[in-house]
Structure 1
């Protein structure tokens, strides 16, 4: 399973790079921006949500901040862990990706069939939740 998922991750990253490039983003930039579109999060929260390291998120968030795509806001829950929030420029970059992303998703669902695509999505979410549960059993902290 892991080798197949690693390959699938690479394939999705390749597609994401192609979708993000016209908006001036990388797949990693898009991933971090996407994590904070609904609400600002601290770097550690983005890392947990996306399943990547805090250090990688910090590096990307700093690049996005330097490019005016995100800003750091005070975090009422933690004095030192600032919240990452998208700027209007960051939101606009993600909006520019939207049409091509939707077109690709439609092509993928058409190729798989809508019902099978929904089943795959459900199974992948269940696999992710199961892996989270197993990881929390191993590391209760």
Structure 2
């Protein structure tokens, strides 16, 4: 056996073969990652006329609740607190959000949407509704609900794995 064939044999022997379900989940994960990229790009396009990005839009939408700290927003979005803090500070400097005292925590201020922030968010949401209606028309609600259920279940399983690793 030549050297290359020998190395390939060792690699194959040391690799666990995936099941049909494992192959399907791998394809699902790759498709979800590719979809996430397309959704972020589309979100950036939807938010651009309001002078925003997808990331800033997410923080503005979370600020509408006005009872969440930066850390709570980060957890809800599945993002790093530091990144959300940087975005929130920029949004605050532009007058789109403000910080308010938090009765439950002395240092962790609550993020609140300002009137200007609400106007920008409203413009984005109008554009998003048109976009979602147009794309949504290509599917049945049952198809989309089923896809959401699978994704939610996968996220729950991954979150449990992450928590077990901590």
Q: Same fold (TM over 0.5)?
A: yes
Matched, 1:91 2:118: yes
User: How far did 1:71 drift?
Assistant: 0.3
Matched, 1:65 2:92: yes
Among 78, 83, 95, the residue aligned to 1:51: 78
User: How far did 1:107 drift?
Assistant: 1.8
CA contact (8 A) 2:66 2:110 kept: no
User: How far did 1:6 drift?
Assistant: 2.1
User: How far did 1:123 drift?
Assistant: 1.9
Select between 88-97 and 106-115 the one with higher mean Cα deviation. Answer: 106-115
The RMSD of aligned alpha carbons is 1.4
| Runs of 4+ residues deviating >3 angstroms | none
| Distance in 2 between residues matched to 1:38 and 1:74, nearest whole Å | 15
Aligned residues: 139
Structure with larger RCO (C-alpha < 8 A, sep 6+) = 1
**What are structure 2's unaligned runs of at least 5 residues?**
1-25
Equivalences for 1:1-141 in 2 at 5 Å? 1=26, 2-139=29-166
User: What secondary structure is seen at the aligned counterpart in 1 of 2:137?
Assistant: helix
CA contact (8 A) 1:32 1:46 kept: yes
User: How far did 1:5 drift?
Assistant: 2.4
CA contact (8 A) 1:43 1:54 kept: yes
Structure with larger Rg: 2
**What are structure 1's unaligned runs of at least 5 residues?**
none
CA contact (8 A) 2:100 2:112 kept: yes
CA contact (8 A) 2:98 2:114 kept: yes
